[in-house]
Structure 1
Amino acid sequence: MTEPPNYGRPTGFGDLSPFTLERTEYIGVSRTPVCCLPVTLGGKLLGFLWGSISVDEDAAGFRPVHGAGAVGFDAGGPWRGRLKRARDKGVAPADAVRRWIGEPEDPRAGGVPADAVERMLPDSDAVLTLAAQSPRWATPDSRPGG
């Protein structure tokens, strides 16, 4: 029997087989219901923080509103870090999101107001739709009060 050509693919991985990478963050997409909270910066809606409420899905994230530009992009970094630290501690996604209600506003990431109304949405795609339909951020690169 003739062996098939190798085409440069390694055939023996030794100690690395099977090789997997451990996921250290919540998944960024949910196909199950999510809780969703508004994030404001300087009194203006900046985006939405969301987390899966299903015990079978480990998903959470931040989505800036349409037109938030660099301000919305910049806000994503601190939120990803906060969510990563929560996941590292074993916090459920919805609890990781709710824990920020009423906390002081971060000058870069904004905050979830104490009187925020939580929405239940069917999945993370609904968060994208909500962000796209929300009032547009005034100018892409302006910060409130600046």
Structure 2
Amino acid sequence: MNSWDDTSYNSGPLPPPGTPEYPEPKPQRDPLEGRYEPWTRKPLFYWPILIRGEFVGHIWASQHHNSAGLVRILSRDDFSWMDVWRERLDAACKQGLRPVDAVKRWVGAPEDPVGGYIPADAPVLDAPNLDTLYQRTNPGGPAAPGPLIQDGEFPDGTPVNRAQGWGPLVSAPTTTYPATTDSPIRYLPIVKSGNLIAYLWASTTNDAAGYLPRTAAGRTAQIAAGLWKLRITQGYEQNVPPLEILDRCRSFPEDHMSGMIQPNMPEVELPTLQQLVDLAQQ
């Protein structure tokens, strides 16, 4: 049975007092079904997108993998133009087009009133990875979010399919808060499209924090992990206490792949992290 198959869902024991109530999870289909993967650690091509002559971001396509997506400039707070291009990418993927071929056919096309356009004389630029494109688009800005597994590989290059090799035997750990604690914890639920997919937690002693996916949310929660773990890591690098990170994450708008924490959602405290682990496995 697939890990995202909810037909085996069991309500289990009642959650701790004060836990927000959500309906039983709906069956989770693969959120990337019929879509290009919106991340990569491999080389890519990219093009500028303009709206009424103003640069708003880039559209990119993997050189060798089935990946494509968008990177916006952070100085703009409008997102509607991105929806236009996502719909185009989804349609191209369903048509079986390679990501690069899909984007090339839009170069020089008439401007969409919402989505803008790719100039006819726009050069085909390249970058070694998505992190580089993020820095070129927003110098000094955040790194590219994404799940642990990208392009069929772990971060150290080890293939998910072991028949393709084993990769390095030792990986450098990411510098972030410890993911375990003996102290009480506080947590907030992460919701995507009305479904509870994961929990963000922090220890009351400010010595640990983490992202905990719900088993029932399957791959949806796995994909969402990249952005939330990135936010925790950024907080660690900025010396932000875990409990403050928890509060800060309420202010982020809903991400189309990672969901959101509702702004007015109260924190729930539990005596142990294991209780939250048990809750996530229900």
Please report the TM-score for the alignment, with normalisation by the length of structure 2: 0.38
**Which of 42, 46, 56 is the matching residue for 1:46?**
56
Match of 2:47 in 1: 37
Q: Counterparts of 1:79 and 1:47 in 2: how far apart (Å)?
A: 11
**Which of 56, 59, 67 is the matching residue for 1:59?**
67
Q: Counterparts of 2:43 and 2:101 in 1: how far apart (Å)?
A: 14
Q: Counterparts of 1:20 and 1:63 in 2: how far apart (Å)?
A: 26
Structure 2 residue matching 1:62: 3-state secondary structure: strand
Aligned CA RMSD, in angstroms, stands at: 1.9
Q: Counterparts of 2:50 and 2:105 in 1: how far apart (Å)?
A: 15
Q: Counterparts of 2:132 and 2:41 in 1: how far apart (Å)?
A: 10
Match of 2:126 in 1: 120
CA deviation map 1:117-141 (0-9, x unaligned): 11111112222112103xxxxxxxx
CA deviation map 1:56-88 (0-9, x unaligned): x21101111121111xx1111011000000000
Q: Counterparts of 1:35 and 1:97 in 2: how far apart (Å)?
A: 10
Structure 1 outlier segments of 4+, above 4 Å = none
Q: Counterparts of 2:70 and 2:108 in 1: how far apart (Å)?
A: 17
Q: Which has the higher contact order (CA 8 A, sep 6+)?
A: 1
Structure 1, 85-94 or 20-29: larger mean CA deviation: 20-29
Count of aligned positions: 114
Q: Counterparts of 1:77 and 1:67 in 2: how far apart (Å)?
A: 18
Match of 1:100 in 2: 106
Structure 2 residue matching 1:48: 3-state secondary structure: strand
- Aligned-residue offset at 1:48: 0.2
Unaligned runs of 5+ in 2: 1-9, 13-27, 140-282
Q: Counterparts of 2:125 and 2:118 in 1: how far apart (Å)?
A: 13
Structure 2 residue matching 1:108: 3-state secondary structure: coil
CA deviation map 1:69-121 (0-9, x unaligned): 11xx1111011000000000110011111111000111111100001011111
